[in-house]
């Protein structure tokens, strides 16, 4: 009987751990994707950064996950316009919602934007994939924002540092809430519903179901009591 119980505890623990870990390694979910088939790129961009006028612009869009996930990675098509300077620091902000506009920053993802071309032609845009270090929980049905900015948190970009974020024409008029602001200390504009959206792919890992967590807990408790009994 003791051998049977021991075998049962280890089998239960093994399968519960496997079920708990597996969603993070083999079941990644795409919760947002505006690239289309074959990473399709359109001939157009949303600009951000510092234009010749000195306006420091941030731009992004709202998305709403249709299932709860832990954020894994974000892929974007962003370049430094090739007629600008060599300043390349870009930050992507994953932001919470605050009454229909971006609120607090959930996570900041920094990278060095590649050089253009921004328009010659735009289908040569490189894809940059950024991996989440915090892996925040994105809740089903909750609005979030993905915002691109020059890295003014730690650096002050010079004038004429302009970045281009490739856009996708979804051919569905006025369904994508686009949002921007000029200068970091100014309020966000009201979301502009557009058929164009900055290209991004957001991937996360499923949240374990309660039954999986319960099975995992059963395995741990079984192992604990077995050790306590036979020590």
**Is residue 128 predicted with pLDDT exceeding 80?**
yes
Max CA separation in the chain (angstroms): 81
**Is residue 8 predicted with pLDDT exceeding 70?**
no
- DSSP secondary structure letter of residue 115: B
CATH code where residue 109 lies: 2.60.120
- DSSP secondary structure letter of residue 21: H
Q: Note whether residue 158 is domain-resident.
A: yes
Specify the pLDDT at position 92.
95
Residue 63's pLDDT band (cuts 50, 70, 90): very high
pLDDT averaged over every residue in the chain? 76
Strand pairing of 200-206 and 29-33?
A: antiparallel
Q: Note whether residue 221 is domain-resident.
A: no
CA 25 – CA 208 distance, rounded (Å): 12
| pLDDT per residue as tens digits for the range 70-114 | 999 999 988 887 555 555 678 999 999 999 999 999 999 998 887
Q: Note whether residue 217 is domain-resident.
A: no
Q: Note whether residue 88 is domain-resident.
A: yes
**Is residue 5 predicted with pLDDT exceeding 90?**
no
Sign of the alpha-carbon torsion through 99, 103, 107, 110: positive
CA 168 – CA 125 distance, rounded (Å): 12
Residue-range definition of the domain harbouring residue 47: 28-207
Q: Note whether residue 212 is domain-resident.
A: no
**Is residue 172 predicted with pLDDT exceeding 90?**
no
Average pLDDT over residues 112-131: 73
CB atoms within 10 A of CB 53: 10
Specify the pLDDT at position 56.
81
| pLDDT per residue as tens digits for the range 178-199 | 999 988 778 999 999 998 889 9
Q: Note whether residue 226 is domain-resident.
A: no
Q: Note whether residue 5 is domain-resident.
A: no
CA distances from 41 to 33, 93, 165, 175 (A): 12, 22, 11, 19
| pLDDT per residue as tens digits for the range 129-165 | 999 999 999 999 999 999 999 865 555 555 667 888 9
Q: Note whether residue 8 is domain-resident.
A: no
Q: How many domains does the chain have?
A: 1
Residue 210's pLDDT band (cuts 50, 70, 90): low
Higher-scoring residue by pLDDT: 175, 119: 175
**Is residue 21 predicted with pLDDT exceeding 70?**
no
């Amino acid at each position: 009987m003791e051998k049977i119980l021991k075998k049962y505890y280890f089998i239960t623990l093994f399968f519960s751990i496997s079920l708990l870990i597996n969603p993070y390694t083999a079941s990644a979910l795409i919760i947002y994707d505006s690239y289309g088939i074959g990473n399709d790129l359109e001939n157009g961009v949303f600009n951000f950064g510092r234009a010749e006028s000195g306006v420091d612009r941030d731009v992004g869009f709202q998305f709403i996950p249709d299932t709860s996930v832990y954020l894994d990675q974000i892929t974007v098509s962003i370049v430094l316009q090739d007629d600008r300077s060599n300043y390349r620091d870009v930050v992507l902000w994953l932001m919470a919602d605050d009454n229909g506009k971006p609120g607090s920053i959930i996570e900041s993802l920094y990278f060095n934007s590649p050089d253009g071309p921004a328009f010659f032609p735009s289908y040569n845009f490189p894809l940059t994939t950024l991996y989440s270090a915090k892996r925040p929980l994105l809740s089903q049905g909750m609005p979030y924002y993905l915002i691109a900015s020059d890295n003014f948190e730690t650096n002050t970009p010079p004038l004429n540092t302009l970045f281009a974020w490739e856009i996708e024409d979804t051919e569905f008029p006025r369904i994508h809430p686009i949002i921007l602001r000029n200068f970091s200390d100014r309020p966000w504009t009201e979301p502009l519903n557009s058929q164009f959206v900055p290209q991004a792919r957001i991937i996360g890992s499923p949240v374990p179901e309660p039954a999986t967590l319960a099975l995992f807990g059963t395995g741990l408790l079984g192992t604990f009591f077995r050790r306590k009994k036979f020590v």
